[in-house]
Structure 1
Amino acid sequence: LLDRMGNDHKLLKLLFDRARHNPKRVVFAEADHLDVIKAAQIVYEEGFAIPILLGRKEVILALKKEIDFDEDVLIIDPKCDEEEKRRNAYAEEFWAQRKRKGVTQFDARRLMRERNYFGAMMLNLGEADAMVSGYARSYPSALRPILETVGKFDGVNKVAATNLMLTPKGPIFISDTSVNINPTAQELANIAQMTNHTMKMFGVNPVIAMISYANFGSSDDPHALKVRQAVAMLHESNPDMILDGELQVDFALNSEMLKNKFPFSKLAGKKVNALIFPNLDAANSNYKMLKEQKDVDSIGPIMLGMRRAVHIFQLGASVEEMVNMTAIAVVDAQQKEKRRRTKSRS
C-alpha cells in the first residue's frame, strides 16, 4: 500500500498492519464523490476496512463502475423509501436522547435523512464500527451531527483534534488543530491529556511541549500565563507525563538548545514529538504550513475524546489523506472496542 501511495513512513506501515489485523466496518458518509469511492476501494482491497457507502445509490454504482470497483459492498441511501423503517427506528432512538434538548420527533425524523446523522446512529446501534466524513462540507457542519449523536467520553468536557505530521525528523503530533478556538488553561490541560492518550494508542511514547511565544515565565501576559497554568495543573495531576512549558517552538524542537538554556526542564535532552498550541489560530496555521513542506505528510484531524470512532476529513481531502484517516478510524475502533470489553468485565 505504501508503494501504491508513494509513501514509506514506518509509522504508517505499523498503522496499516494494525488495521489489517482486525478490519472494521467503516461508514463513508459522502460516498457519491469519486475520490471518496477511490479511498473506499483502496481500504477494501488492502484488507483493513469493510466500507459501508452512504449516498445516492445510482451515483455510487456509476462511480464504482468508472474505477472498476466491482466488489459487492453495502450501499445505503438514507433518503430512499427502502430505508424508511430503519430511518424511523434511528429517529426514535435519537429523539429519546435529545428530546430534553429541544429536538422534536419531527426534527429527529428529518435529521435521519442526513447522512452524518444516519451514519452516526449506525455506530451507536452497533451496525458499524467507525465513520469518516467531511470531504464535501465544512468542518463545523460535519462535526455538529457527530457531537449530537455519538457524543463524548464520560469526563470529557470538550472534544479536540490532533494532526499527526510525518516528517523527515520523525512523527510530530500537533493539537488542537480544528475545534477549540481559544481554550482555557484547563481545556489546554485536557487537550494535552487526550493527545497523550492517542499517541500511546499508536505506539508512540509522548514527549509533549506546551507552546507559547514565551519561555518558562518570561512573560506574565494572559496568553502565556494560561499555558503556564495548564502545565502546572498537569505536573500536579499527571506527574508521570513527559510534558513541560511554556516553550517557544524552536526550543521545543531543538533538544540541544533546550538542554543548554533550560536544563531544569522535564524535556531537557529529550526529543519532543507533540506540540500543544495555545489556540486554534496557531495550531491550524502551523500544521497547514508544515504539511506543505517537502517530504511531510499529515494525517488528521484525528478526533480526541469521542465515544465512538468518528473522524472528519478536511474539506477536499486527497485520496491518500482519506485512506490514512480510515486506517486511523479502524485502529481507533479497535481500541474503543477493547476499552468497552475491559469496562464490561470490571
Structure 2
Amino acid sequence: AMMVLEGDADGMISGHSRAYSNVVKPIFEVIGKANNVSKAATAHIMITQRGPLILADTSINIDPNAEELAEITQMTANLGLAFGFDPVLALLSYSNFGSSNHPHAVKVREAVKILHSKNPQLIVDGEIQTDFALNKKLRKSQFPFSTLGGKRVNTLIFPNLEAANITYKLLKELHAAESIGPIMLGLRKAVHVLQLGASVEEMVNMTAVAVIDAQEREKRRKVKMGLSNETD
C-alpha cells in the first residue's frame, strides 16, 4: 500500500490468504478515501446469462443512509463507464415508487431524488422491486413514468449490505455466474481486495480491474493537468 501511495506502483491487489477485514484496514489507514468521498464502497460485476450485471454495495456499508446510497450509486455508475457500460441503474427495495412509507423504502426514494437533482443525465430510478427492475416489459407496462423506460438495467444498487452480499453469492452458487470483485470504489488509488482463497481466474480478473482502474486514473490526471489530447 505504501508503494502505491508513493507512486512506486500504479495499483495493487491483496487478500488471497487473509481475512477481508484484515486486508481492508491497512488500506484505509495508508491510502484512504479519495477527495470528496465520504464513504468508500464495493461492487461486484456478475457475468450472467443475460450479460454483465453490476451489484453494489456488496462488502462494506451495512446500512447506508440516503446521501450515502446516492454516493454509492454515482461511484458505481462511474465504474460502469470505466468498463465501457452505459449505466442504467435501479435502486432496489421491496417497494415500488412510493408504495410503502417505511423508512427502509423512503431512504431509497430519497437517494433517487438526490441523484436526479445532482446528475439529471444519469439513467437511474427507484425505489423498485427486483423483478420490475430486470424485466423491462413488465416495468414499462406497470410504471411507464419511470426514467428507466424500456432500457435494460445493467446495475443494481441495494438498500443494505445484507441484500447485496446475499444476492451476489446466490447468483454465484445457484446460477454459476462468474464473479469479479469486490471492486473497491472511492479510494485514492487503484487498490482492490480479493476474497479469501480466491481462484487463479479470480486473481487474474481482479488484476485486470486494477490495471483498468489505474489507467482511468492516469487519464483523469492528464485531463486535469491539460496534458491529454484527442490522439491519446
**Structure-2 separation of matches of 1:292 and 1:325:** 19
Provide the rounded CA distance (Å) in 1 between the counterparts of 2:18 and 2:52: 28
The one of 186, 196, 199 aligned to 2:67: 186
The 5 A counterparts of 1:3-152 are 120-152=1-33
Render the CA deviation track for 1:148-169: whole Å, top value 9, x for unaligned.
Answer: 1111111001100000001110
CA RMSD of aligned residues (A): 1.0
Say whether residues 1:261 and 2:120 are aligned partners.
no
Indicate whether 1:296 and 2:177 are aligned. yes
1:287, 1:179 → 2: CA distance?
A: 14
- Secondary structure in structure 2 of the residue aligned to 1:333: helix
The residue type paired with residue 43 of structure 2 is T
- CA deviations over 1:28-75 (Å, ceiling 9, x no partner): xxxxxxxxxxxxxxxxxxxxxxxxxxxxxxxxxxxxxxxxxxxxxxxx
Match of 1:175 among 31, 50, 56: 56
- Which one of the candidate residues 182, 188, 207 is aligned to 1:326? 207
Measured after TM superposition, the shift of residue 295 of structure 1 is 4.6
Q: Distance in 1 between matches of 2:42 and 2:214?
A: 16
Tell me the CA shift for residue 322 of structure 1.
Answer: 0.8
Q: TM-score, normalised by structure 2?
A: 0.95
* Whole-Å separation in 2 of the counterparts to 1:236 and 1:127: 40
Aligned residues with identical type, % of pairs: 58
User: Does the 8 Å CA contact 1:175/1:283 hold for their aligned counterparts?
Assistant: yes
SS in 1 for 2:81: helix
Q: Would you identify which runs of 4 or more consecutive aligned residues in structure 1 move more than 6 Å?
A: none
String of CA shifts for 1:284-322, please: whole Å, max 9, x gaps.
000010111345101001110111110001111111111
Q: What does residue 282 of structure 1 align with? A: 163
* Separation (CA, whole Å) in 2 of partners of 1:343 and 1:327: 24
Name which structure has the greater RCO, CA cutoff 8 Å, separation 6+.
2
User: How do 1:177-256 residues align onto structure 2 when only pairs under 5 Å count?
Assistant: 177-256=58-137
- Distance in 1 separating the partners of 2:117 and 2:215: 31
Which of 224, 227, 230 is residue 343 of structure 1 equivalent to?
224
Counterpart of 2:45 in structure 1 is 164
Residue 344 of structure 1 and its aligned partner are, at CA, apart by 2.7
Separation in 1 of the partners of 2:213 and 2:8?
16
Distance in 1 between the 2:226 and 2:4 partners? Answer: 22
> Secondary structure at 2:156's aligned position in 1?
strand
Deviation at 1:198, TM superposition (A): 0.6
**One-letter identity of the residue aligned with 2:211:** V
Aligned partners of 1:150, 1:159: CA distance in 2, in Å? 12
The secondary structure found in structure 1 opposite 2:174 is coil
Query: What's the offset of the Cα at 1:137?
Result: 1.6
**Distance in 1 separating the partners of 2:44 and 2:182:** 5
Residue 307 (structure 1) aligns with: 188
8 Å contact from structure 1 (residues 168, 295) kept in 2: no
1:268 offset after TM fit, Å? 2.1
How many Å separate the matches in 2 of 1:295 and 1:284?
A: 16
Report the TM-score, using the length of structure 1 for normalisation: 0.64
CA contact (8 A) 1:162 1:195 kept: yes
How many corresponding residue pairs? 227
Letter in 2 for 1:167: T
Specify the alignment match of 2:230 in structure 1.
none
1:147-191 residue CA offsets vs partner (Å, 9 max, x unmatched)? 111111110011000000011101100000001010000000000
CA distance in 2, matches of 1:249, 1:292: 19
Which structure dedicates a bigger proportion of its chain to helix?
A: 1
What is the identity, as a one-letter code, of the residue corresponding to 1:261? Q
